[in-house]
Amino acid sequence: MLARITSLSPGRACSRSTLAGKQHDVITPGKNVKRYVAGALNARSGKVVHAVAERKNSELFLALVDALRRTYRRARHIHLVLDDFIIHKSRRTLRHLAGLGRRIVLHFLPPYSPESNVIERLWKQLHDHVTRNHTHRAHRAADGGRR
């Protein structure tokens, strides 16, 4: 994909010198594709169960709940430690959970306390080493391996 970049100040918008008003063709990796991941970390085993979706909404959280139910079929109760994000307590979520009886038990952390939720460390590692890593192989493939 080619993107047009117009230099407003000669020589400042890109590394090569440009004439005022001239445009350079710059190869870009294209439109970013976002995926959202919801996950649960088993505090005893360290196992992570996750769900992936195109949107960060109640459906993503409910997909995680269903993945947990499949993974822990024999568990009488599944306890989830959550932040206060709206998808964890939306009307859609509460209706779905009510239909499951009391098998899924939600425990909400105080606001602004990510250090209390162990999975936040995993999300930080994921961001640092994958999504923000511009030399990751998926990113290199997008630009033809030129990084």
Could you state, in order of their start, the residue ranges of all structural domains in the chain? Answer: 2-32, 55-131
Per-residue pLDDT tens listing for the chain (147 residues): 444 444 344 444 444 455 566 665 555 566 667 889 999 999 899 999 999 999 999 999 999 999 999 999 999 999 999 998 999 999 999 999 999 999 999 999 998 887 888 888 888 888 887 776 555 455 455 445 544
- Give me the pLDDT at residue 145, please: 52
DSSP letters along 85-133, please?
-GGGS-HHHHHHHHTTTTSEEEEEPPTT-GGG-THHHHHHHHIIIIIT-
- Give me the pLDDT at residue 8, please: 43
- Give me the pLDDT at residue 119, please: 86
Buried b (16+ CB within 10 A) or exposed e, 60-97: bbbebbebbeeebeeeeebebbbbeeebbebeebeebb
